Every structure is written in C-alpha cells, then in structure tokens.
C-alpha cells in the first residue's frame, strides 16, 4: 500500500527539549514516517496548531494536492490538537470528492514521552487506511479508551481541561457534490463566532464587514432569547446561524434572519460559511442546510 505523509507539526511532530518545552522536530517527522511506512513525506508546513491562520489552511490544501498528485492509496496527516477540528472540517470540505482515505492524527504528548497516545493513534490510522474507505477522517485515542475514527467534519473541539475528542454520529462519509467546483482559497475573517455565557453583551460586537454570525447554544440548545433576538433585529440583512444541537428551540419564534442549524458543529458551520462567502453564494441559509459530505447528522442518531 502506497502511503503519503503530510506532516504539519503539532505535539505529535515535536520533542521536549531539556527545559521541558515542546518544540517542532524533524526527528519526530522521520519517526512518524517510519511508523506508518510512508513512501513520501510532505512537511513544508510545520507549526503548532494554535498559530494556524486562514492562509495556512490554504497552504495546507495545496500541500495535500501535491500529495494526492503522487497517487497514493491513502494519506496520513499529522496535526496539533488545538485547531484539529477546524482543519479537519476544512479538509473534509475541500476534499469531499477524494477517492482515497485521508486520516488526520494528533497526540496528547510527543512520541518520545512514555504516556503518549501517538503510537496507538498512528497504528490505528494505518490499519484504517487498509479498509480503503474514501473520505476525510480523524483518529484519536481518548484516555482509557481504544482509538476511535471520526468523520472529519463532525469532530468537536476538545475541551480546555481534558484530552478528549468526541464527534457527532458515526464516521460515514458521503460526498453529495455540493462543494464541487468551489474555490477553497479562504481569505478574510468574515464570519463571527459567538459562544453564550452569563453577562454576554452583544453591544460590544462591531460587525462591520462581517457577512454572517454563528451563535452557539448552551448544551440544551438554548440561548438568552431576548438578547440574541434583539441583536439580530438590529442587523436584519446579516444572517445569524444558531447551532442549536438536536432540537428546535422551544420558545417564541426568532426574527427571520436567525437560522437554526441542527446536527452540525459550530466549527463545521463556520468553515462552511467561509467557503460559501468566498464563492459569493447568494442564499447562505439554503447552502449551509444542505449536506456536503455528511457533516449534518440526523439529531436522532447522536
């Protein structure tokens, strides 16, 4: 089996120095290539993932295209944990039509650390490639559990205080054709993400230049209805997408420019909107409510 490795750094591609500081390491990339049996290595983008910007995603995509041009049977990607969900969603959209498996791997500690989960993750990714399931996936091993395969655009960001990754539904990947012909060269931060908290003051947001808002709900799919509705009313021409979890908001109706989106992560919705705006999609609500690769999950199935 011909495997290409796209190494972008992160903890899995690092070593601890004598002061205990995690630093990017070519030796780590070489070790990963040996573990997975890579026939080719693409490592021109190397960074700690918290430093990723939109322009880096563009570079990332071009490197992936270079790797695909070598006609591998599968691609293993190494990446940092901090922005893993963003990059995996972006790759899932950009390579919806892939005919090979693309598997993204991260680890909690460098491979030289005794308790690193990286070895199990890399071995599981290599085994998964042998199934030849086309799509973009992420593999991660939560503490105390076996490695798990996740759909690239269903992955939820890990919580600040733990090393756990979860996702919506299973890892079934399905290209619907929605993203075919799209320009994925992202530029500009034209989508604002808002997370709820007690005391949230919408008046602090200057949304000049923004084309869309993504408002996340609390765990029960709720927000402060009065405040969010009043905020949206002030900007009737800006669509505001609410990631409402499993069910429709149980309360009064929202103003027309608030669109409830069920069964899709805030991260996947954000990336999807950036792509739509880049491509001047006129009807953003209609576009984001359509599946591109199976990122929208039936609420009854997760």
Cα–Cα dist 110/121, whole Å: 12
* 251 confidence band (pLDDT: 50, 70, 90): low
Judge whether residue 162 has pLDDT over 80.
yes
Instruction: Please state which of the ranges 12-21, 58-67, 78-87, 94-103 shows the lowest mean pLDDT.
Output: 12-21
Q: Would you state the structure tokens that stand for residue 10, as one six-digit string? A: 């992160």
> How many residues make up the chain in this entry?
302
Which class for 276: exposed (0-12), middle (13-18), buried (19 or more C-beta within 10 A)?
Answer: buried
47 DSSP β-pair partners? 9
Instruction: Please state which of the ranges 15-19, 100-104, 164-168, 243-247 shows the lowest mean pLDDT.
Output: 243-247
Phi and psi angles of residue 42, each rounded to the nearest 5 degrees, phi first? -120, 110
Tens of pLDDT, residues 117-160: 999 999 999 999 999 899 999 999 999 999 999 999 999 998 88
Of 219, 223, 220, residue with least CA distance to 242: 223
Cα–Cα dist 276/270, whole Å: 10
């Amino acid at each position: 089996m011909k495997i290409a490795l796209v190494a972008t750094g992160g903890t899995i591609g690092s070593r601890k120095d004598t002061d205990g500081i995690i630093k990017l390491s070519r030796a780590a990339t070489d070790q990963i290539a040996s573990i997975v049996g890579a026939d080719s290595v693409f490592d021109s983008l190397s960074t700690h993932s918290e430093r990723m910007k939109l322009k880096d995603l563009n570079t990332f995509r071009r490197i992936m295209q270079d790797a695909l041009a070598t006609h591998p049977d599968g691609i293993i990607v190494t990446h940092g944990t901090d922005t893993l969900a963003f990059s995996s969603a972006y790759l899932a959209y950009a390579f919806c039509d892939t005919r090979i498996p693309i598997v993204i791997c991260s680890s909690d500690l460098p491979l030289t650390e005794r308790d690193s989960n990286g070895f199990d993750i890399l071995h599981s990714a290599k085994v998964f490639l042998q199934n030849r399931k086309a799509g973009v996936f992420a593999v991660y091993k939560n503490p105390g559990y076996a490695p798990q395969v996740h759909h690239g655009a269903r992955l939820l960001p890990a919580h600040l205080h733990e090393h756990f990754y979860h996702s919506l539904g299973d890892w079934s990947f399905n290209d619907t054709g929605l993203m075919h012909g799209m320009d994925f060269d992202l530029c500009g931060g034209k989508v604002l993400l808002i997370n709820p908290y007690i005391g949230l003051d919408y008046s602090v947001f200057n949304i000049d230049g923004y084309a869309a808002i993504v408002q996340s709900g609390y765990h029960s799919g709720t927000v402060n209805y009065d405040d969010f509705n009043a905020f949206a009313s002030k900007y009737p021409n800006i669509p505001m997408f609410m990631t409402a979890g499993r069910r429709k908001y149980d309360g009064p109706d929202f103003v027309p420019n608030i669109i409830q989106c069920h069964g899709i992560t805030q991260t996947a919705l954000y990336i999807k909107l950036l792509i739509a705006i880049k491509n001047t999609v006129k009807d953003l609500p209609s576009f984001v409510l359509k599946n591109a690769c199976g990122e929208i999950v039936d609420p009854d199935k997760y």
